[in-house]
Structure 1
């Protein structure tokens, strides 16, 4: 992500909240809404020029709202700069009103020829353009993309030309990151005033491309008037949440993480979780598992205290010393896993011991929704989230924000809803707070064991005194940053979970240079 006006803000907004920001900004802007529209058009054109400085011809596709108005401004500026411009109106410009109508008239006055979509061959227009500007549909889209717009979007995507999306790729939900039918696949998205939360989660990563932001010079006090409970989280900011270690500290100051899991045949998951807990700074790490995994565990991670657990009493004895319990990696749903689940959840709730639940710990929780300790983190992927909510995966993905909040309310826990643009949600009184991890992470993380590593890391940070929400935010961003660095070294296709563990120390020491990481991934994708 890049910013053209200082630091990218952390606050994320819904479409309705952005409309409120727009209205407040217009009221404070000399020249009103049209002046603000021209700022948006200039910002987008500036982003286009910086990204594609050699381009001499562009095709601009304009819709019927203010998003289309931005497109008319861009076409005017491109014409004035000496570029060859084809402007295609998908909505009848004669029916435009307000600022969009003024932008249309100004573009015509500047010599831009406005062509109706029904009067041109779209494929021919696209063949003659080096760059395409998508100014079709903005943040107001809520239902399925209409057929006339879908046809244009399909042609643009098929042309394979670089695309600048104005404010948001047409077809993408600004609120949820869901694709509302046909959706522009942008190379670059130039967004304004407030960052729309749908740009950073769900399917957005497939269509947004490189994201640029410009606040259009809106006064800071405007943003204070529209509060958002959703924020963007990155590794550099999250690192500050963990207190510095005292020079006289000892291992007892950094907690004891007990990882419970690894039924027969699933030993790798619990070993990775335990090793990740060590690497993420826990003072002591223990592992309650089955006998066959003890030797492998001691060879792999001699720092971990492994013990075979056969019955409830043995497990309760280990639990009595724990600061945080990580339950679920490799747990299984057989008799042993169920015994562990019942023992751990009841013991931790009665003693108020913090917990992290993942994998089959979540599946068993869906079957038996017991009360959880007050400082609990659950880390479902969409399938596990659907089971926990008694719904379907498509319904979870339809609104990831609502799903994460529903899970936080139902289980009174911090929720890490995994996936592209992972969401971390927790309750603050009756209000839900949500963070979106969108600056790091890559498709190479779609591999077994990644969730086990995250579970161990989260538990370790909680053991060091962090609350569940802050620990989850730091763990998710650190985990993804380590994965990015590993992918940059060896390629996404070869990335495995133990690479992430091995790189945690290096990732902690390295600051995140987002632009260089993005370019490395582009190079890797080109190779693969």
Structure 2
């Protein structure tokens, strides 16, 4: 599984301290390496600017800005530094002093506003080095005014933030909070030394993830991944080719080795949901499956389209007595149900099986979950709120809830949103940050359940199955149809295998 470690602000600070105190790095060296990485990563961007303005704060982030200004100046770019106040960081003081000597001087905010009023439209590339990831307090009125000016001005054709967008806090989302807690509307963010957990989901336009680029500066991010200083959060990278190859049938496969599954759902009038999940499983190579449903119409609906399929009107409690139950590895419960099945409460899942709970099988707070070691719940945000009795406005808030919920209930939870989050019973978690508006249509959740069942039936563990399913679904972005139906998406995916 392709993934990269995500560090919280506190973990990043710990690594910074470790590099300086135990490994003997000079803070000035790390700051210079950060600035050099940002310079080289954006060489084409600098060339587009008539002038580059860097807003520098009083801490380490401001020091990074001064170090970058020094390099830009030495490489022949027109650059200016504006500081909110003298730098308080020792390494930052060094680079502030260096910039004063090489550029002649640094400017203050009074100079900034004066020059801003005289600047031409789209003439300035702005680098935001005001506040780093460690900033936790309230913004001063001075900084609020500065951030609002930067966001609203047509002078700046591009805004690049170092490490994080100044003022950004994932817990303060929404228009009302945005007024009280403004942040720089960065066009991109350069994450320095570590990938930042708090930056996940950075957004200032609806459903638009702003690009973030990671620049290595020599932090010990690999040799010091242990329980004492790392919280097991990971960033999933798309792996579309592996997703295709894994799901393809092998020449030696028979109907059970190709994957077997049970599907339960589809109340009367909602049979289409469970049929879609089953269709995704079958058409993507699944070997054998059977549909169980509370609907008395399920057999006629299934056999009408395909006489080779199996379907039965049944309750969940009856499934375990069906001969097919002992032969299958994977169960999907929920598509087309309107409420949590009572038969699931306290039910024990056999050790050799994996269970997906989706849609109507997502419990309400107070419902007892089934017991087992391989249970995956796939709620969207509203269902997560109902399941936990809490409101979640960010992936970080959802994590805070699920990191307790999942170990307590021994379940995996995949939150489906424009940023998806998988939290595991062992405390590890994975984020998938690949918004796909083509999936915002009726039936795509049922489609995902069928795709997940397909990978799980091939003996992938739940984290790997989730990664492969999300990578596979990402292919739907290539559809020319702007608003494809779930069936159109499935048809396009079938063509890949």
Give the structure-2-normalised TM-score. 0.85
Runs of 5+ unmatched residues, structure 1: 1-7, 509-528
Alignment partners' CA distance in 2, 1:457 and 1:82: 53
**Structure 1 residue 220 displacement after superposition:** 6.8
User: Which residue, 249, 252, 256 being the options, matches 1:252?
Assistant: 256
2:331 to 312, 325, 332: 325
Show CA shifts across 1:400-425 (max 9, x none).
32223223123211111222331111
Structure 2 matches for 1:141-180, cutoff 5 A? 141-159=135-153, 161-173=157-169
Q: Which residue of 2 aligns with 1:182?
A: 182
Does residue 261 in structure 1 map to residue 265 in structure 2?
yes
The equivalent of 2:415 in structure 1 is 417
Q: Is the 8 A contact 1:76 1:112 kept in 2?
A: no
CA drift of 1:471 comes to 2.0
Greater share of residues in helix = 1
1: distance between equivalents of 2:8 and 2:58? 21
Cα distance, 1:446 vs structure 2? 2.5
Structure 2: tracts of 5 or more residues without a match: none
Task: Find the counterpart in structure 1 of residue 491 from structure 2.
Answer: 502
**What CA deviation, in whole Å up to 9, does each residue of 1:465-500 have, x standing for no partner?**
223333223223322x223233xx334xx1433343
The structure-2 alpha-carbon separation of the partners of 1:496 and 1:148, relative to structure 1 and needing over 3 Å to count, comes to: farther
Question: Residue 162 of structure 1: CA displacement?
Answer: 1.3
Is 1:200 equivalent to 2:203 in the alignment? no
Matches within 5 A, 1:356-367: 356-363=356-363, 365-367=364-366
* Deviation of the 1:506 alpha carbon: 5.2
Q: Distance in 2 between matches of 1:222 and 1:401?
A: 25
Equivalent residue, structure 1, for 2:85? 92
Distance 1:9 1:414 in 2: 18
Structure 1 residues 30, 469: closer, same or farther in 2, change over 3 A?
closer
Q: Say which SS state the counterpart of residue 261 (structure 2) adopts.
A: strand
| CA–CA separation in structure 2 for the residues paired with 1:121 and 1:280 | 60
1:287 aligned to 2:279? Answer: no
Structure 1 pair 297–184 and aligned structure 2 pair: CA distance change class (3 A): farther
Pairing of 1:76-87 with structure 2 (within 5 A):
76-87=70-81
Please tell me whether the aligned partners of residues 58 and 86 of structure 1 are also in contact (alpha carbons under 8 angstroms).
yes
Q: Partner of 1:490 in structure 2?
A: 481
Within 1, Cα distance between the matches of 2:162 and 2:208?
A: 13
Distance 1:229 1:296 in 2: 46
User: In 1, are the aligned partners of 2:37 and 2:216 still within 8 Å (CA)?
Assistant: no
Q: CA RMSD in A?
A: 3.5
Matched residues, number: 482
C-alpha change, 1:85 and 1:112, in structure 2 (3 Å) is farther
Q: Equivalent of 1:306, from 306, 311, 316? A: 311
What secondary structure is seen at the aligned counterpart in 1 of 2:279? Answer: helix
Equivalent pair of 1:126/1:156 in contact (CA under 8 Å): no
Shift in Å, 1:322: 4.0
- Aligned counterpart, 2:62: 68
Measured at CA, do residues 9 and 377 of structure 1 come closer, stay the same or move farther in structure 2, by a change above 3 Å?
Answer: closer
2:5 and 2:390 map into 1 onto residues whose CA distance is 29
Distance 1:215 1:27, change over 3 A: farther
2:432 counterpart residue number: 437
1:210 positional shift:
2.3
Q: In 1, Cα distance between the equivalents of 2:412 and 2:120?
A: 50
- Correspondence 1:437-516 to 2 at 5 A: 437-438=432-433, 440-479=434-473, 481-486=474-479, 489-491=480-482, 494-505=483-494
